[in-house]
Chain A
Amino acid sequence: MPEHDVLVIGAGLAGQRAALSAAREGASVGIISKVHPVRSHSNAAQGGINAALNPEDSWESHAYDTVKGSDFLGDQDAIEIMCREAPDELLELEHMGVTFHRNPEGLLGTRAFGGASAARTYYVADITGQAILHVLYEQLMKHSEVRRYEEWFTTGLVLDESGHCAGAITRDLRDGSMELFKAKSVILATGGNGQCFKPTTNALICTGDGISMAYRIGAPLMDMEMVQYHPTTLAGNGLLITEGARGEGAHLYNALGERFMEKYAPNKMELASRDVVSRAEQTEINEGRGFPDGTVALDITVVPRKRVHEALREIVNVGRDFAGVDITKEPIHIKPGNHYAMGGIKTDVDGQTEVPGLYAAGECACVSVHGGNRLGANSLLDTLVFGRRAGAHAAARAREVVLNPPSDALLADEEQRISELIGRDRGSARRVSELKQELGETMDRHCAVFRDAEGLNAALETVHRLKDEYQGVAIDDRGSIFNQDVLAAIELGYMLDCAEATVIGAIHRTESRGAQFRTDFPERNDEEWLKHINLTLGGDGEPHISYSPVTITQWQPEERKY
């Protein structure tokens, strides 16, 4: 029965950063991941990481851009911490070995990114997330004192008698055996829940596991209605074309050949913040100025060829392999697509949730630094800064508390639940994949760039019906070794929790702010809605709504123009 001071669940950037930081503080650390760490979805962050490192830049400028990008819903104390700590975080990564792009003087070089008033995005070609993820994994291989549990799936969190989080129950994918991990502090770093939507830029593993598990043991979720649609994704499969393409100078055109961003964001044009650009594109498409496949065009041919090869290599591959387009020669058709959850488990600036002993960091958490809309290249920063802070705080907590071991009966119950699921008769139940498909399409239809009460209520009804149907869901695989079928079923349960919270938040927020645009409430309403929506699971199994204030330090809400 493994026991650690700090147990990290999830091994993307936030999880690995948290594990390294907790280990540096002297804690015994275990890190669990349902996939090998380098498979984590942090890989997919292409464009870069923001930091006001240049002497001409300032953390205040970065913070203001982030506050404005968030449509004033981000908590400014947290944003200040993130932006102040960004330069040191970046330098530490550089010292660890990340191969950041250099300028001709050999110093760290930047590229422009959306919603930013200075070029402060540091990058490795267009594989920034991958490069950082792999370098952190190098550090994990170096620091073998951090115990890695790769391809272990977490089925639930456990509380001790006093209601403190004291571990997790997991399933070893290799042989199906289950373990109760005991820990003084547990850090969730399980990423987002983009799989609730279809299509999405998110990988198949992004099923909101941590968000749901935290919710189930009583931690509040916050800002769940804030779902980012990225402006440049491929129609159909949802694959991401980095914002770095626009950062390098690429233009957007509608089917009439108009550079339509002139109408929506005359100053920042293609580099307005993502909610603004996605809304502009969707408006063009809805009003009949898109292409017949429901897209607009991204023209990268204006970027010099040599620069494309050096800085946008992955996009060359994606265009060639997945769209049959040579982006150095012709425009590529794109549309807004589901990309990122600004909301998540409510935490403070040290990653603490409202359940003692439980922490969260990265996309599954909501500190909130992104508020209504995340700026490009702030997500890597969020994972690293708050991953590190959560790791350090969790280690400090572990020094102070004694482990109050959770009951072994919890493990037996969970084993029973899973084996019942595996052994269940199929009968007439629909497959997990069918329920998942319906969920994804429903969310994309009603909970996307433009929303209204009618659509959202229809979505909620569907989610509730799917939740009922899910109770009887059956699977094919009766085995123990790599039973991915049973994992998919458990993941669908996580996704349904996340989707429900998202829709409820969206219904409840009767205004338009950031990524939430209600066609029936098209204005931002600071008087009523300059606050976070929190959802807590009640004893009745229903989500309960409460509010928390937005922390404002030095930037009062103002009209948002790009």
Chain B
Amino acid sequence: MSDYTLKIRRHNPEQGDAPYWAEYPVDLEGHRSVLDGILQARDRIDGSIGIRCSCQAAICGSCGVRVNGRARLACNTKLSEAAEAAEEGPITVEPMGNMPVLKDLIVNMDAVHWKKVQRIVPWLLPAGPPPEREYVVPAESMIDVTQAMACIHCGACVSDCLSMEVDPLFIGPAALAKAYRFVGDPRDAQDEERLRDLAEDPHGIYDCTHCFNCIEVCPKGVAPMDQIMRLRRRATRDFEISDQNNGRRHEHAFTSIIRKKGTLDERKLLQDSFGPLRPQGAVELIRALPTGLRGFARGKITPKTALLHEKLPGIENVRRIYDHAEEHHEELNLYIVGEGGEAEEKEPAMGETPEVTT
């Protein structure tokens, strides 16, 4: 009797056929993993099913695939959970996105992920020769970068990154999280240069659109988007880098508007982001006109909303969030607070400054 059915997307370019779906019955208990299921199908039915896998313990990062359309490690996705998510149908397993498929579930990570990692200058750049003994650095700083070090380069975040789908040149969540590993490392002497480089790159830190997909799909709690936000904070707060992408002004405009009105006033956002007196601002305003007109045509913008933007009722609560965030601006991560900040004694973790840019 088969307990589950896996519907696997197969493709072997050698055979010249188009990709196709094939179903495999799996005879395993629900607590076993999707990888166990795939391996059973490979062992019993078709030895040619291609998937990279090794540790079976969510450590090596080999078995990144999409299960029911979301990037996961096959080895730490339980069959029962996957079946539940699939509702009535079989569990679908397909290769990760944003990377070319080599065969079946195997994608070309070199062509995308590792190239982007190489882009961020992924090695420590200390000032001068090393000390005789170890570098003396704050204990917290090492724990802090451990979250980024926990990345196993499985590619799940790269796969499901919406920004990368639109802009394949986006450096992307994994490589930028890796960049924070150096920027946050006090032994690295090139933090400002790194930040300037990543801020000025049109495909750099301001190319992230906060879709949260990378945080949701990361199997190791690296929270790549959080690391990108920390890179931005370091770039703006510590080094006041005004980038050519206007990322810093945009971010500032966004947070100021929300603080003032509680919701986003998009008319003001464009003006404040670019500044009406700056030539680039005027260009952007003209470029945004068609979007505005389409909004009018579809009723999304009315003359009233275009002219008036009312404050959110209870705006004082929004400001309290701001105040709280500003008082608690220490950087927290999983290695310090645990899941959902449960290790903190009194207050829930609100230590992360809420990032409210677009």
Contacts and interface: CB of A to CB of B under 8 A. Distances in A.
Contacts of B137: 102, 106
Interface in B85-144: 102-104, 106, 109-110, 117-118, 122-124, 126, 130, 133-139, 141-143
Nearest to A489: B47
B185 A99 contact: yes
A256 interface: no
Nearest to A437: B43
Contacts of A488: 47
A205 B54 CA distance: 6
B12 interface: yes
Nearest to A138: B123
SS class of chain B's interface: helix, strand, loop or mixed?
loop
A39 B61 contact: yes
Interface in A75-126: 91, 94-97, 99-109, 124-125
Contact of A131 (B12, B46, B52, B149): B149
B14 A138 contact: no
A322 B219 CA distance: 13
B57 A38 contact: no
A30 B82 CA distance: 42
Given A109-B139, A433-B43, A322 B76 contact: yes
Interface in B47-81: 47-48, 50-62, 76
B47 A39 contact: no
A137 to B, nearest CB: 9
A259 interface: no
B342 to A, nearest CB: 8
A483 to B, nearest CB: 8
A322 B76 CA distance: 7
A358 interface: no
A306 B343 contact: yes
Interface residues of A, number: 71
B56 to A, nearest CB: 7
Given A139-B123, A141-B117, A481 B12 contact: yes
A309 to B, nearest CB: 4
A305 B123 CA distance: 33
Interface stretch (B209-217, B317-325, B331-339): B331-339
A127 B103 contact: no
Interface string A295-316: 0000000000110011001101
B50 A204 contact: no
Interface stretch (A337-345, A471-479, A517-525): A471-479
B60 A102 contact: no
Contact of A127 (B56, B110, B150): B150
A39 B113 CA distance: 14
A141 B76 contact: no
Contact of A102 (B52, B104, B123, B139): B139
Contacts of B152: 38, 43, 130
A99 B138 CA distance: 11
A38 B46 contact: no
Given A141-B123, A477-B48, A482-B50, A106 B76 contact: no
Given A96-B124, A142-B123, A124 B149 contact: yes
Interface in B29-45: 31, 42-44
Contact of B343 (A43, A134, A309): A309
B12 A100 contact: no
A13 to B, nearest CB: 14
Interface of A: 35-36, 38-41, 43-44, 91, 94-97, 99-109, 124-125, 127, 130-131, 134-135, 138-139, 141-142, 150, 174, 203-205, 237, 239-240, 305-306, 309-310, 313-314, 316-318, 321-322, 324, 431-434, 475-485, 488
12 contacts: A38-B61, A44-B55, A102-B142, A106-B136, A107-B136, A124-B146, A130-B150, A138-B124, A139-B123, A204-B53, A322-B76, A479-B14
Q: Which 10 A-B pairs have the closest CB atoms?
A: A476-B47, A97-B124, A477-B48, A433-B43, A95-B130, A102-B139, A485-B47, A309-B338, A203-B54, A203-B55
